[in-house]
Amino acid sequence: MGFKPALELEGLPALRKPFTPTPGLSIAPYKSPHYEGSGSVFFRLSSNPADKRLGLFTCAHVSHPPPLFNNKAYDRKKASHLREDVLLLGTESFNKAVGNIMEFIGTEISNIETWESNLNEIPEPVEGEHDRFAAKRKELVNLIDAARNKIGEADRLHTYVTKNFTTAESRVIGFVLHSSKIEVGAGGFMYDWSMIQLDEDKIERADFKGNKLFVGTSLSHLLVVVFFVPHQTDGSFSNTGGNKTKDDWEKYMFSQPNDRRGFSTPKHMLLTLKGYVTEAEMRNPQNLDFHNVQTLLAVKNGRTTGTTFGRVTGLESITRVYTDHNISEKALEYIVCGYDTKTGRNDKFSESGDSGSMVVGRDGRLIGMLTGGGGPADATDKTYITPYYMLKDAISQKFPGSHLLDVDAE
């Protein structure tokens, strides 16, 4: 059974997104389904048009965590070699995604009960009644009908998902083709990357959207729209679907009137990914943020925090510690600070489980892969990324002829 990618062609995209091959993907090793992370962008693994193999880029510590390896490079060189399978949705992510469907249905049922109670308080229609009664009655009936339609759609999604993807085996999306040794490499940057080869029968290629990053409305926003409680921090709702609106995108990605080059709102909130940000631009960014400060504006979608906006704040030399791997290395890292769309201040850009996400510019160009974070939780939080302009060389050396999947060419 393939994962249906037609996200924007159907309703309730925030509920559907986790079950589709749409960046960023929530992934986990089959052997360690509780050790979860994010898949970032898709690659063609060969320049040969007849070779249709697709790869998914992520971190080595996501695809091959302890105790699967002791920080050694891994390659699956022959088809006869045992596979290190990778899941779309690890245990927690799958349970949360299914739970979100049920909670959404419960929310809509509660809304219907409230609206029906309000409807019963309106007098029966009579000739010559006040316009406000007719308008309120129509509004409530429309809300109830829309909610019932959403319940039906969510229920069908729940049936489809639980019927086809409940077992880990049914969620295998591919296998680890290569996993790098986690170490400081060219340019002094930390190299922590892996390529997953996707199983052809798990991607419905006719409708595959490829490298389009989902930056749409989250479940929490859907709940706000229907006048119910928003996302809670106790884990009751997963943020995986993204959590930004079109208004957020326009206000914070293109906030200054004199900095609206290439202004656009992604269609269906799916941002097409193309090209990459050069080293020169990383060092001399030209975007202007909400406070009219020159910076490089960024966005990512990760397994844990969904869609977050950020600002690439510069290059630092730091000591990176991978506790699970007993690795401590001094490396160069670009730092991204979160960009809160409520206040315009710095906020958390990522959390545990977002590793492997691709941080991209507002124009869809790749900036760098998220490998970890640090800093106090209640202050300016730092996210570490390895720039793509360096990673692309490592990828090309390992997979000659490979290239970022071109959305327009598919």
Boundaries of every domain in the chain:
107-158, 210-388
Give the number of other Cβ atoms within 10 Å of residue 119's Cβ. Answer: 16
pLDDT in tens, 287-334: 998 888 899 999 999 998 888 899 998 887 777 777 666 777 788 889
DSSP state of 252: I
Is the pLDDT confidence value at 351 over 80?
A: yes
Residue 177's alpha-carbon distances to 49, 87, 205, in angstroms, are 20, 14, 20
Q: How confident is the model at residue 222 (pLDDT cuts 50, 70, 90)?
A: very low
Give the number of other Cβ atoms within 10 Å of residue 30's Cβ. Answer: 18
Integer Cα distance of 224 and 124 in angstroms: 30
Is the pLDDT confidence value at 379 over 70?
A: no
| Nearest in space to 86 (alpha carbons), one of 54, 111, 108, 51 | 54
DSSP for 256-273, please give it.
STT--TT----GGGEEEP
Integer Cα distance of 166 and 39 in angstroms: 20
CA pseudo-torsion sign 34, 347, 371, 54: positive
| Nearest in space to 310 (alpha carbons), one of 340, 280, 282 | 340
| pTM to 2 decimal places | 0.85
Residue 227's alpha-carbon distances to 111, 188, 303, 373, in angstroms, are 8, 50, 26, 34
pLDDT in tens, 37-94: 999 999 999 999 899 899 999 999 999 887 667 788 999 988 888 899 999 999 999 9
What's the number of CA atoms in the CB half-sphere (13 Å) around residue 82? 3
CA dihedral 89, 91, 94, 98 (to 10 degrees): 180
Share of the chain above pLDDT 90, in %: 52
Higher pLDDT, 108 or 352: 108
| Nearest in space to 339 (alpha carbons), one of 214, 240, 252 | 252
Per the listing, tokens 């006719």 go with 206
DSSP state of 169: G
- Residue 116 tokens read as 């029906």
Integer Cα distance of 357 and 213 in angstroms: 10
CATH 2.40.50.110 for domain 210-388:
no
E strand map for 172-227 = 172-179, 183-184, 190-191, 194-198, 212-214
Give the number of other Cβ atoms within 10 Å of residue 57's Cβ. Answer: 23
With beta carbons less than 8 A apart as the criterion, state whether 405 and 41 touch.
Answer: yes
